[in-house]
Amino acid sequence: MTIMFTDFASFSTLTQSMDAMEVVEALNFYFKELIGIVKQSGGFPDKYTGDAIVAIFDAPVPLEDHAERAALCAIQMQRCLRRINDARRAEGKLVFEMRIGLNSGHVVVGAIGCDDKLEYTSIGETTNLANRMESAAAIGHVAIAEETYRRIDISNLGHVAIDIPIPLEVKGYPQPVMTSRVWVSPTRITKNANRKSAADFYIYEEADKSQA
């Protein structure tokens, strides 16, 4: 089973001065586009946690190629976000940039809660590490744990640059975790330390074209 975590980078900082309804409308717009890609890829949208999406691949519908489907889905989501954000910036609208993390392994899934509120969800170490992979991803790109990397045929992922897994310090883990970063495009996105408004929150720079 493969678990996906997504999160909008610095969402709280970016939206702290925004009207609440404006934030909700923007989130709903983004989520509609992104969840559509998850479903088309065979994934199950597990839950929303604030500005984050958690998705499961291989449950409740079994998928032999769940890791590869999740990786392709993550790449497609980031590319969709590029198109959306290019259009929104041209219109002077606020944009959200996203990190995505993936991990594969044994997962406990089922209806969890009480009689008044049951939720089909996943728990366990695989889910926890997927969450940490999201934090390890570069803004606008994807990070995958070694177990997911091992299950993927890299040649099927298309025109992306994929680092071989390297030891990475991950919060909550006493030892470095083998992690691979997937660079969806040559664009490197960083937070603008000298920003004057939400409109210039991010800096976009083109990296070496050979990297993606």
Q: What whole-number distance in Å separates Cα of residue 160 and Cα of residue 149? A: 14
Indicate whether 212 pLDDT > 50.
no
Among candidates 205, 63, 86, 67, which has minimal Cα distance to 146?
Answer: 67
List the beta strands (DSSP E) in the chain: 2-8, 44-49, 52-57, 98-104, 108-114, 117-123, 142-145, 161-162, 166-168, 177-183, 187-191, 202-206
- The burial of 67, by beta-carbon neighbours within 10 Å (0-12 exposed, 13-18 middle, 19 or more buried), is given as buried
pLDDT, one tens digit per residue, over 23-41 is 899 999 999 999 999 999 9
Which pTM value belongs to this model?
A: 0.91
Please tell me which residue, 152 or 48, carries the higher pLDDT value: 152
Question: Who wins on pLDDT, 200 or 20?
Answer: 20
At residue 210 the predicted structure's pLDDT band, cuts being 50, 70 and 90, is: very low
User: 124-137: per-residue pLDDT in tens?
Assistant: 899 999 999 999 99
Structure tokens at 211: 């990297």
Whether the per-residue pLDDT at 114 is higher than 90: the answer is: no
Q: Look at residue 13 in the predicted model and tell me its pLDDT.
A: 85
Structural domains in the chain plus CATH codes: 2-211 (3.30.70.1230)
Tell me whether residue 89 is exposed, middle or buried, using C-beta atoms within 10 angstroms of its C-beta: 0 to 12, 13 to 18, 19 or more: middle
Burial 26-54 (b: 16+ CB within 10 A, else e): bbeebbeebbebbeebbbbbbeeeebbbb
The answer on pLDDT for 7 being more than 60 is yes
Whether residue 204 is predicted with pLDDT greater than 50 in this model: the reply is yes
